[in-house]
Structure 1
Amino acid sequence: MNAVLVKNAHVYAPEDLGRNDILLVNDKIAALAPDITLPACLEPALLLDAEGRAAVPGFIDAHVHITGGGGEAGFHTQVPPLPLSVPLSGGVTTLGGLLGTDGVTRHVDNVLAKACSLEEEGLSTFIMTGGYPLPSPTITGSVTRDFACVSKVRGGKIAIADHRVAPVSAAQLAALATDVRVGGMLRGIVGMLIIHIGAAPEGLARIFEVIDQCPYLARHLIATHINRSPQAFEQAMLLARRGGFMDVSSGLNSATLGPDTLKPSTAIAVALRSGVPPEQILMSSDGNGSAARYDDQGHVEGLVASDLRTLCAEFRDCVLAEGLSMTQALAPVTSNVARAFSLFPAKGALTAGSDADVLVLDADLRPWSLFAKGRHMLHEGRVLCKGTFEE
């Protein structure tokens, strides 16, 4: 039996619970209380004194190109697959994997295999079926069947308003969202559809056509990359007010995508202060995705891989630069994501019975110690576990 006792932490679950101890037994949180005495049956245990530090749920990043994204400027521009050490150093314990631009040389099967690999190495993972184009690439030949028969599938993926895909009609988008919804129903979860928003002027217009006709589909829709421009951001805030989700991409900023891009932490702060329902705001990294800038002829003029570790950096800026509370800053990367993908309270919470995914932050809100399913994966900012082929 593996036991860990985290002592004297200021716990944000993500709500502020004040000073508490946290007892981890195997892969679960066994107890959370102000002064836990370790039972004799659990000794010896790892004792971790978190005095002066915050303990929070491990971050959930629901938009990661775990097999690598990119490829827009030739095969040499394909981003490599994600190594285990990167999410660990960024405080991430749960990943959602998905395809990017290239759904030809990379496939949903590859995403599933890589998700299983990362799970075997110690993380928790789920995946999205589908990709940029229609018809959606799938594992079983059907989006609905993927949900029903592949346990790691919790979402779908499509791109709209983007020059890399043919225009999508409202009817096509509604049909795909319905397939996702029904597939989730068959599994007893809420199926989610991640909608990549490109740079075309129409932005989220097709999404609004869908929910005007089928308002019940709003709960299943996540518009991502919405901080790419002021217009997309304004549309996304309206979507969130109508029951959908706005997903801020922490890996997109003025340096990676251009001057119109809103800083992610600022986007979250503005949305909250504009009265957007807090539970409809998510943040993901677009990690290992390709942030490409194009000229007027459609040629790539700038290409960089989005960094998964920006998720923690932008959370930190939400608190230190934007003045949000810890709870406000944590929710878009913990509880909100867990609730959206039917993972709460196993994920996204610190409470008895939750998975033992605990991130301890130092006084500057940087990852100091990390437990993923009870396994000690990072300490004093140093990764303790690396992937099978990492040096």
Structure 2
Amino acid sequence: MFTLIKNVELYCPNKLGVGDILMAGGKIVWVGNSFPGRDLPNMDVIDGTGKIAVPGFVDGHVHIAGGGGEGGFSSRTPEAALSDLTEAGVTSVVGVLGTDSTCRYPGELLAKARSLREEGISAWALTGSYEIPVKTLMGSVKDDLILIDLFVGVGEVAISDHRSSQPTFEELSKLAASAHVGGMIGGKSGVINVHMGDGPALLSPIRKVVETTELGLGQFLPTHVNRNPDLFEDAIEYGLSGGQVDLTTSTTPQFLEEGEVKCSQGLKRLLDSGVPAERISFSSDGQGSLPFFDSDGAFTGLSIGTSRSLLPEVRDSVLQEGIPLETAVQVITSTPASIYRLPGKGRIAEGNDGDVVLLNRDDLSVDSVFAMGRKMVQAGKAVVKGKFER
């Protein structure tokens, strides 16, 4: 079946003006002005007038199999539902484990990634969790990255956090070395997604590994770097030195009152400081717990992350911070796709996967979502749902 989107404003994510997109066989087969072909058999023609086409969103940090647990077994968060992702514009997702690597494990994560693929979107996963030594399926990080197709990196590994395993420099270095070699042989990014906590060490553990080994900053993707003002300032310097930084869009009013940097404002500050958009990504921490702790580290409450937080922060970046849409949309499309080396993702281009989001021009809300050329969302509502969704 052919799908032709006509007269739509193209942000691929670079701005191309008004044009058309033709999709067939799950791929984008033509992008340009005024589709020259005649009517094709079984072609669905969509009028994109008043709409903006952007690449399908890539959410690089989602607890797709559930997370949480810091407040006891009843605080375990649920799995991600297909429609929660697609209605948010997400067509590609990278799944992670979190604090709990006893009741949650890599096999469960891998199975959830495969189930999301069967339901219609693209999904990958990271092997390991907060702790070092990380738990794997094949016995080592290197083996997992080489032999298991959907594992593209490692994480999230926690540092500077009271919930981490307090890894030593040697442990972090050896993990990075294994991820690097496994990524090379397996044709993967091998990146280590590093959970940043509130600890005073900030990003220094990563810097020390890079300064004293042959590994580069690109081996790491520190996330939650907007957690507090000190960490964010350190992240600016890290980005200026060539590192990749990831800001978390899911938050709470309490977190913001306590000093967390709002993502849209953080993006503005990073760009104004000279960090290029190619090194900045947003991820949602979807289905992850957003726990509250008192000054003694005791659990006091819980909220939950969601992929639906991605687009509002991009929208605020444009409407409130004055960042061009073609720049702002990179942080949830081309940049995370590049960091994780996800083939065919992050750009509207001939030969890439048919992952396209149509936004309403007036308020940048989601109108339609196509994943691998298949319409998943229409008029903001899922038309394809997961097997157990009502």
The equivalent of 1:302 in structure 2 is 301
Q: Does the CA contact (< 8 Å) of 2:64 and 2:80 recur in 1?
A: yes
The equivalent of 1:153 in structure 2 is 151
The equivalent of 2:82 in structure 1 is 84
Offset from partner CA, 1:263-282 (integer Å, 9 cap, x none): 11111111001111221111
> How far apart are 1:201 and its partner, in Å?
1.5
The equivalent of 2:184 in structure 1 is 185
Amino acid at match of 2:179: V
Alignment TM-score, normalising by the size of structure 2: 0.97
> How far apart are 1:100 and its partner, in Å?
1.1
CA distance in 2, matches of 1:198, 1:258: 17
Cα distance change, pair 215–311 in 1 and its aligned pair in 2 (3 A): farther
CA distance in 1, matches of 2:134, 2:238: 24
Amino acid at match of 1:184: G
Report the secondary structure of 2:215's partner residue.
helix
Report the secondary structure of 1:309's partner residue.
helix
Higher mean C-alpha deviation, range 244-253 or range 257-266: 257-266
RMSD between superposed Cα atoms in Å = 1.3
The equivalent of 1:95 in structure 2 is 93
Report the secondary structure of 2:137's partner residue.
coil
The equivalent of 1:221 in structure 2 is 220
Structure 2 residue ranges without an equivalent (≥5): none
CA distance in 1, matches of 2:276, 2:173: 24
> How far apart are 1:254 and its partner, in Å?
3.8
The equivalent of 1:5 in structure 2 is 4
Q: Does the CA contact (< 8 Å) of 2:249 and 2:310 recur in 1?
A: yes
The equivalent of 1:111 in structure 2 is 109
Alignment TM-score, normalising by the size of structure 1: 0.97
1:72 aligns with 2:65: no
Higher mean C-alpha deviation, range 335-344 or range 25-34: 335-344
> How far apart are 1:318 and its partner, in Å?
0.8
CA distance in 1, matches of 2:166, 2:299: 21
The equivalent of 1:16 in structure 2 is 15
The equivalent of 1:284 in structure 2 is 283
Higher mean C-alpha deviation, range 187-196 or range 51-60: 187-196
CA distance in 1, matches of 2:277, 2:210: 20
Cα distance change, pair 279–214 in 1 and its aligned pair in 2 (3 A): farther
Report the secondary structure of 1:87's partner residue.
helix
> How far apart are 1:38 and its partner, in Å?
4.1
Report the secondary structure of 1:234's partner residue.
helix
1:367 aligns with 2:366: yes
Q: Does the CA contact (< 8 Å) of 1:257 and 1:291 recur in 2?
A: no
Higher mean C-alpha deviation, range 263-272 or range 231-240: 231-240
Q: Does the CA contact (< 8 Å) of 2:130 and 2:165 recur in 1?
A: no
Amino acid at match of 2:235: A
Aligned-residue identity in percent: 38
Cα distance change, pair 215–277 in 1 and its aligned pair in 2 (3 A): farther
The equivalent of 1:340 in structure 2 is 339
1:203 aligns with 2:202: yes
The equivalent of 1:63 in structure 2 is 61
Which of 121, 126, 129 is 1:128 aligned to? 126
Offset from partner CA, 1:181-221 (integer Å, 9 cap, x none): 11110012321100000111112110111111236321111
Structure 1 residue ranges without an equivalent (≥5): none
Q: Does the CA contact (< 8 Å) of 2:177 and 2:215 recur in 1?
A: no
Higher mean C-alpha deviation, range 90-99 or range 245-254: 245-254
